[in-house]
Amino acid sequence: MSDIADRVKKIVVEHLGVEEDKVTESASFIDDLGADSLDTVELVMAFEEEFGIEIPDDAAETIQTFGDAVKFISEAA
Amino acid sequence: MFDLTGKSALVTGASGGIGAEIARALHGAGATVGLSGTRTEPLEALAAELGARTHVLPCNLSIPADVEGLVKRAAEAMGAVDILVNNAGITRDGLVMRMSDEDWQAVIDVNLTATFRLCRAAVRGMMKARWGRIVNISSVVGTTGNPGQVNYAASKAGMVGLSKSLAAEVASRGITVNCVAPGFIETAMTDKLNDQQRAGILTAVPAGRMGTPQEIAAAVLYLAAPEAGYVTGATLHVNGGMAMI
């Protein structure tokens, strides 16, 4: 797994308090990992901080799964 | 009761009568206080009076860039902003037909827009900490209205709507957002009234007197304290019975 994926996974595990093996490529933050709307905002802010990038609101809306996040950040970072 | 030891509080408008008293109350309960205001001199004097655990943070809330940077400066100085008190406010009174766009906008900018910006900036750290207190100083006229104050009353009613909405957004993170709505309080703002105006006001106040800045500060202290953790989205009216709402 790439370095970016590892770092994203670490943030998700820490923030949502979920088991690492639950954070799969297709795992939805809200449907599978128990995030609420505020969690998703916090995750996006944590990604921005960790990777030093800006994630605009319309892009943030498309980040639904762990895989989406890794893909977006890999392209932006 | 009401122990704020280890908490850091940012108070805007701390150079004014009510703001200074709020800072004294929070500091007296053990908080570190960030004193913000436009005039540095009274802030320095208050800091000297309070002694340790004080930081002077001058800021002009009508300048957006200053507002954006204030919470960051406060967090750098104090380590965090656990408690935010949006107390700064201005008036530009006038009857509506004679009110300029500038007088409308200036009041909305400082009283409402700066409050929004400071809340937005402060909530970030509070979410991470899973604890926070925001107390916005509204006014009785935000609920009752007052001739000559369409701008001020709109800004103060706006603060209530803002506070309720924000309270709902962040309640699950241990953050409360409330308003304190003072009635007529002995300050520089009410010192300008003449005896006749003063007598007229007092006939509308069942308590028969104006309130003191200490009585506002006590309400803020309560809402800032851990004990008020289940109170959010509320407006605490402190007005001597002038409006029972």
pLDDT, one tens digit per residue, over B83-134 is 999 999 999 999 999 999 999 999 999 999 999 999 999 999 999 999 999 9
What CA–CA distance (Å, rounded) separates B58 from B13? 10
Indicate if the pLDDT at residue A53 is higher than 80.
yes
How far apart CA B173 and CA B132 sit, in angstroms, is 8
Q: How far is CA A30 from CA A12, A27, B172, in A?
A: 12, 9, 16
Check CB contact of A68 with chain B, cutoff 8 Å.
no
Please give the pLDDT value at position A2. 78
**CB distance B172–A45 less than 8 Å?**
no
How far, rounded to the nearest angstrom, does the alpha carbon of residue B41 sit from its chain's CA centroid? 20
Residue A33 pLDDT exceeds 80: yes
Judged by a CB distance cut-off of 8 A, whether residue B126 touches chain A is no
pLDDT at B194: 85
Nearest to B171, CA basis, from B138, B130, B221: B130
Average pLDDT over residues B56-81: 96
Please report, for residues B64, B166, B239, the alpha-carbon distance to residue B202 in angstroms, rounded to integers and kept in the order given: 38, 35, 11
Residues of A with active-site annotation: 36
Average pLDDT of span B154-171: 98
Q: Count the domains in chain A.
A: 1
pLDDT in tens, B236-245: 999 999 999 9
The overall average pLDDT reported for chain B is: 96
pLDDT of residue B19: 97
pLDDT at B187: 87
- CB-CB under 8 Å, A38 with B172: yes
Chain B residues within 8 A of A35 when measuring between CB atoms:
none
**Selected residue with higher pLDDT from B189 and A50:** A50
- Is 60 exceeded by the pLDDT of residue B4? yes
pLDDT at position B41 over 70: yes
Question: What was the pLDDT predicted at A59?
Answer: 92
The answer to whether residues B141 and B156 touch, using CB atoms and an 8 Å cutoff, is yes
Query: Residues B147-172, buried b or exposed e (16+ Cβ, 10 A)?
Result: eebbbbbbbbbbbbebbbebbebbee
Partners of residue A36 in chain B, C-beta under 8 Å: 172
pLDDT of residue B133: 98
In this prediction, residue A1 carries a pLDDT of 56
- Return the structure tokens found at B191: 């010192």
CATH classification of the domain holding A37: 1.10.1200.10
Reported pTM: 0.92
Task: Please report residues of A whose CB lies closer than 8 A to that of B169.
Answer: 38
CA distance B183 to B167: 23
Per-residue pLDDT tens digits for A2-22:
799 999 999 999 999 999 999
What proportion of chain B, given as a percentage, has pLDDT over 90?
92
The domain containing residue A72 runs over which residues?
1-76
ipTM rounded to 2 decimals: 0.79
Q: Does A49 touch chain B (CB under 8 A)?
A: no
Report the gap between the CA of A56 and the closest CA in chain B (Å). 17
Length of chain A: 77
Residue recorded with tokens 């990604």: A47
Question: What Rg do the C-alpha atoms of chain A give, in angstroms?
Answer: 11
pLDDT at B48 over 70: yes
